[in-house]
Structure 1
Amino acid sequence: MTRILHLSDLHFGYERQALVAPLLDRVNAARPDLVVVTGDLTHRGRSGQFAAAGSFLRRIEAPLIAVPGNHDIPLFKLTARLARPYRRYCRAIANDLEPVAHVGHVRVQGVNSVDPTAWQRGVITGAQVRRVIGNLDPGCTNILALHHPMQQRPEVDKMLMKGAPEALRDLQSAGLHVVLSGHLHVWSAGAFLRDGQGGVLQVQAGTALCNRPGDRQNEFAVLDFDGPELCITRHVAPMSEPGFLPPEQMRFSRRDGGWKSL
């Protein structure tokens, strides 16, 4: 079994301070093989916020990879956003904006979906898609990790990432298994599956630490891969509660080819 822990949208600078230590304790207690962080480590991309985010990530005991989100580049300083958008991210988090990790029979490939010219929307390019497809490992469960989701429910009021429909079509045809994303602060797992008919399992994380009242809760997920079987454990901390509720579980299988919810 390989355990992947998925964090997203930490938003240091607007974080729920009382949950930082309990979140860190839960992450380390889960003993994941790999932690994947899908962007928005900071709220406004400021140096102090990156320092806090970097300090938090360094206290995670497991191996870790992260990709940037749109909140991790300057918003109001247009020149800095266009000329050197990732300067602070690279100093505090990592130089590699599209990291790759291979643990057990699971391969995770990060993609930087931030578009400095369109701050919120995001973009995935044909070159990125071709790189992901070219590196898929037929002996592994292949996971793509990026900030912006590949699909959205009709009620979502944010623009879908540029290039997402074409990218999802090509990645699905090539045999990608799972997409991890964030951005929307709304949990979703398997919402776009047609049971047993192939397709990519999309896991869209809620926010792990953002203290925006409209979010109502913070959360993260643990994904346990056992061959073609997957158990997702969701850990939720409502804003109205002092900490985390008992975890919830969902199970999926691709034993017969396409993903099915169990």
Structure 2
Amino acid sequence: MTRIFHVSDVHFGTEDRDALAWFAAEVKAASPDLVLVTGDLTAAARTSEFAAAGDWLAGLAAPVRIEPGNHDLPVYNPVLRLTRPYARLARLVARVGRPAVLDDVSLVSLKTTARAQWRTNWSLGHVGRSALARTLAEVRAAPASRPIIAACHHPLVDMGTRTKGSTRGGAAALAALAEAGVTAVVSGHTHDPFDRMWPHGDGAVRLIGAGTLSERVRETMPSYNRITVVDGEIDNFVVSHGEGSGR
């Protein structure tokens, strides 16, 4: 069995410290195989925010994998955003990223962030051709016997939550991932969890979204997802702050 604790939108700078302490205790008690963070570790990609996020992640009792979110690109430094948008995040990953051994599932990354877009709201999702090609290459290299989970920040198609991903190229990317054999796509951005099946051809892809551990809550309290994979089957359970793990 493989256990992944999936968290997103921690937003250091507007983080919920009680929720962070609670999640750290959950990780310590359960020792998951991986803590997967699907973006927006910070509120504005400030150096101080990445430093605080790094301290917290370094203290978690599990390997950590981080995907970029739109808030992890510099908000108030346009020169850095356009020239080296992922530099601060890369330093954080080098500091705290710890590889995990996942025996029952393959995990691939899909970048949905962009340093700039031909629309006014750069916080929305975008899947470029090169990003999708890299992900599909990862999928082809994965063992055929395992389910494949793709991790990204923005939902590839809108899930009816209050916050929308409005991801350009997302539906086409999702169709390509389904054709390539991806079993599920996990994401963040919405600050509210979701878990739905997206029909494609004769099958379906599971779409799983995590909530937030920040003060920027929407419809639900801070939460994370417990994803388990057993004998090729993916299970997901939303754990909310104040309710206990339930498992």
Q: Same fold (TM over 0.5)?
A: yes
Spell out the pairing of 1:95-244 with structure 2 (5 A cutoff). 103-118=102-117, 119-136=122-139, 137=142, 138-154=144-160, 156=162, 158=164, 160-190=166-196, 192-194=197-199, 197-207=202-212, 209-212=213-216, 214=218, 216-237=220-241, 244=242
Report 1 or 2 for greater relative contact order, CA contacts < 8 Å, sequence distance ≥ 6: 2
Spell out the pairing of 1:15-30 with structure 2 (5 A cutoff). 15-30=15-30
Instruction: Specify the alignment match of 1:252 in structure 2.
Output: none
Cα distance, 1:150–1:35 mapped onto 2, change above 3 Å: same
The one-letter amino acid of 2:167's match is: M
Partners in 2 of 1:44 and 1:100 — Cα distance?
26
Partners in 1 of 2:95 and 2:114 — Cα distance?
17
* Residues matched between the structures, number: 240
Instruction: Specify the alignment match of 1:85 in structure 2.
Output: 85
The one-letter amino acid of 1:198's match is: G
3-state SS of paired residue (2:203): coil
Cα distance, 1:20–1:202 mapped onto 2, change above 3 Å: same
Task: Provide TM-score, normalisation by structure 1.
Answer: 0.83
Spell out the pairing of 1:27-46 with structure 2 (5 A cutoff). 27-46=27-46
Instruction: Specify the alignment match of 2:244 in structure 1.
Output: 246
Whether 2:5 is the aligned partner of 1:5: answer yes
Partners in 2 of 1:66 and 1:248 — Cα distance?
26
Cα distance, 1:159–1:26 mapped onto 2, change above 3 Å: closer
3-state SS of paired residue (1:94): helix
Quick check: 1:100–1:108 contact (8 Å CA) kept in 2?
no
Q: CA deviation at 1:80?
A: 1.7
Q: CA deviation at 1:170?
A: 0.9
3-state SS of paired residue (1:71): helix
3-state SS of paired residue (2:9): coil
Q: Over residues 34-62 of structure 1, what are the superposed CA-to-partner deviations in whole Å (9 max), with x where a residue is unaligned?
A: 11110000111111110110111111121
Quick check: 1:115–1:123 contact (8 Å CA) kept in 2?
yes
Q: CA deviation at 1:248?
A: 5.7
Q: Which runs of 5+ in 1 are unaligned?
A: 238-243, 250-262
Instruction: Specify the alignment match of 1:258 in structure 2.
Output: none
Q: Which runs of 5+ in 2 are unaligned?
A: none
The one-letter amino acid of 1:108's match is: L
Partners in 1 of 2:35 and 2:41 — Cα distance?
14
- Say which is worse superposed, 68-77 or 33-42, in terms of deviation: 68-77
Alignment RMSD, CA only?
2.5
Q: Over residues 163-218 of structure 1, what are the superposed CA-to-partner deviations in whole Å (9 max), with x where a residue is unaligned?
A: 1011011111111011110001111012x4459941211101111x2112545510
Quick check: 2:7–2:225 contact (8 Å CA) kept in 1?
yes
Q: Over residues 224-244 of structure 1, what are the superposed CA-to-partner deviations in whole Å (9 max), with x where a residue is unaligned?
A: 11113233221102xxxxxx2
3-state SS of paired residue (1:203): strand
- Say which is worse superposed, 1-10 or 215-224, in terms of deviation: 215-224
3-state SS of paired residue (1:103): coil
3-state SS of paired residue (1:23): helix
Partners in 1 of 2:57 and 2:184 — Cα distance?
24
Q: Percent identity?
A: 33
Partners in 2 of 1:178 and 1:200 — Cα distance?
5
Task: Provide TM-score, normalisation by structure 2.
Answer: 0.88
